[in-house]
Amino acid sequence: MRPLTATIDLAALRHNLEVVRRCAPQARVMAVVKANAYGHGLERTCAALTTADGFAVLGLNEALTLRALGWAKSILLLEGVFDTAELIAAAEHDVAVVVHNDRQVEMLANVELPRPIWVFLKMNSGMNRLGFAPPDYKAIALRLQALDKVANITLMTHFATADETTGIATQMQVFDAASAGLDYPRSLANSAAVLRHAESHADWVRPGIMLYGASPCVDVSAAAFGLRPAMTLRSEIIAVQHLTPGQGVGYGLQFVADKPIKVGVVACGYADGYPRHAPTGTPVAVNGQLTRALGRVSMDMLCVDLTDLPQADVGSAVELWGAQIPVDDVAHAAGTVGYELLCAVAPRVPVEVIE
Ligand SMILES: Cc1ncc(COP(=O)(O)O)c(C=O)c1O
């Protein structure tokens, strides 16, 4: 069998949830498991994180999957519902919904629900993506409060720059001012705010990326935050080539040897989710030793430098990312973020689960 595997470490997921608890001991944790738990597998991730207080997902189908699996605690739909049928199904299955636009408010006002529903009322406090404008927010909260279909309201916003030096102060001010006097629980913090901005923790935190052991911040590594990678992408060398000076390797012969170079060909390419934009120099580990990718990543293979690894040969172990090669470092080299790489691991990659 092709030697590429993604190993999911359930103990690391549990450890990272403990880091969330340590950072935000007063808050309840709505673990963000959208996008197939950031590529880690919804079912297995949720089974590992049963001590979370709730799970946040994107689509109703994910919420219903979790209910079918027996998850009885909170579930939140992060974009809310898209039609009345979804709203009725969400209420029926006790799934909370984000309400972020007028259409969703009207849907709620006009629907007959099997039972009252929990609403996360989202404010656009400055990210300018989803949510009500601050001047309108209070009136909408009061309108929802008056509907007997609304069981509970939680006030919510999302930060644009919690991971950057800009921080969250401006958005916090906007949120606090526009929600002053509304006596409801609050939910503001993503991973970066959990890790860096205790003043935002409030009643429900919504960590995603930190649960998977990657860093939300470009300037601080996951390890420095005490996080452990939940996914390791491993493969093996399947061929070895020896370049003489002037010879190139891979499509476009983008890497050209300026001295004798020993090249290892790794069974992993962009069709597996490895970023095609990873340039020469992207870190890779072979037999536990740090080396670099060479030339262009192709669909099923990529090349690595084995010049200083005389023992390396066909069958040598390769870590593309994991404990030795942080996914954030590969992402950085490829001009993206760990989030994208984790979510993009292809369905064709076999998954192995370890406790
Ligand atoms: C509304 C909302 N809350 C929380 C999160 C989790 O963010 P992170 O993965 O950065 O912790 C996301 C992720 O995109 C989100 O959209």
Q: What is the mean pLDDT of each run of 10 residues along the chain (355 residues)?
A: 98 98 98 98 98 98 98 98 98 98 98 98 98 98 97 98 95 98 98 98 98 96 98 98 98 98 98 98 98 98 98 98 98 98 98 97
Gap from CA of 149 to ligand 1 centroid (Å): 27
Ligand 1 pocket mutation pick from 19, 158, 215, 342 by most atoms within 8 angstroms of CB:
158
Tell me the CA–centroid distance for residue 179 and ligand 1, in Å: 21
Q: Using an 8 Å Cβ cutoff, are 75 and 98 in contact?
A: no
Our answer on whether the CB atom of 78 is closer than 6 Å to any ligand 1 atom is: yes
Among 78, 123, 125, 220, residue to substitute to test ligand 1 (most atoms within 8 Å of Cβ): 78
> Under a CB-based contact definition with an 8 Å cutoff, are residues 160 and 170 in contact?
no
Residue 21 to residues 56, 127, 206, Cα–Cα distance (Å): 17, 26, 12
Helix (H, G, I), strand (E, B) or coil at 45: helix
Interhelix angle 102-110/134-145, rounded to 10 degrees, is 10
Which amino acid, residue 256? V
Contacts of 161 (CB under 8 A, 6+ apart): 167, 168, 171
How far is the centre of ligand 1, averaged over its atoms, from the C-alpha of 206 (Å)?
6
Identity of residue 173: Q
Residue 212 catalytic? no
Residues 6+ apart with CB under 8 A from 180: none
Tokens of residue 78, six digits: 């992060």
Which candidate, 189, 236, 184, places its Cα nearest to that of 216? Answer: 189
- The DSSP element (H or E) to which 10 belongs, if any, is helix 10-23
Return the ligand 1 atom nearest residue 122 CA: 1
| Nearest CA residue ID for atom 8, ligand 1 | 208
Which of 34, 38, 212, 339 does the annotation list as catalytic? Answer: 34
98 Cβ closer than 6 Å to some ligand 1 atom: no
List the residue whose alpha carbon is closest to atom 6 of ligand 1: 208
- Nearest ligand 1 atom to alpha carbon 194: 11
Q: Is residue 40 within 6 Å of ligand 1 at its C-beta?
A: no
- Closest C-alpha to ligand 1, atom 5: 190
**For the CA of 130, the nearest atom of ligand 1:** 1
- Residue 77's pLDDT is what? 98
Counting from 1 in the atom list of ligand 1, the atom nearest the Cα of 191 is 11
Ligand 1 touching residue 100 (CB < 6 A):
no
Q: 32 alpha carbon to ligand 1 midpoint, in Å?
A: 7
Query: Quick one: how many helices (H) and strands (E) in the chain?
Result: 11, 18
Q: What's the gap in Å between 231 CA and the centre of ligand 1? A: 19
pLDDT attached to residue 27: 98
Nearest atom in ligand 1 to the alpha carbon of residue 207 is: 11
**46: which 2 tokens?**
């949720």
pTM, two decimals, is 0.97
> Strands 5-9 and 351-354, how do they pair?
parallel
What separation in Å is there between the alpha carbon of 156 and the centre of ligand 1? 12
CB neighbours of 300 closer than 8 A, spacing ≥ 6?
Answer: 267, 268, 269, 271, 272
Element (H, E) at 170: helix 169-179
Determine if ligand 1 sits within 6 Å of the CB of residue 208: yes
Q: Which of 38, 122, 184, 251 is catalytic?
A: 251
Phi (first) and psi of residue 70, to 5 degrees: 100, 5
Ligand 1 touching residue 209 (CB < 6 A): yes
Residue type, 287: N
Query: For residue 122, which amino acid is it?
Result: K
Q: What is the DSSP letter of 272?
A: G
Burial label, 311 (beta-carbon count in 10 A; 0-12, 13-18, 19+): exposed
Q: Does 189 sit in the ligand 1 pocket, CB within 6 Å?
A: no
DSSP conformation letters of 106-159 = HHHHH---SS-EEEEEEB-SSS-SSSB-HHHHHHHHHHHHT-TTEEEEEEE---
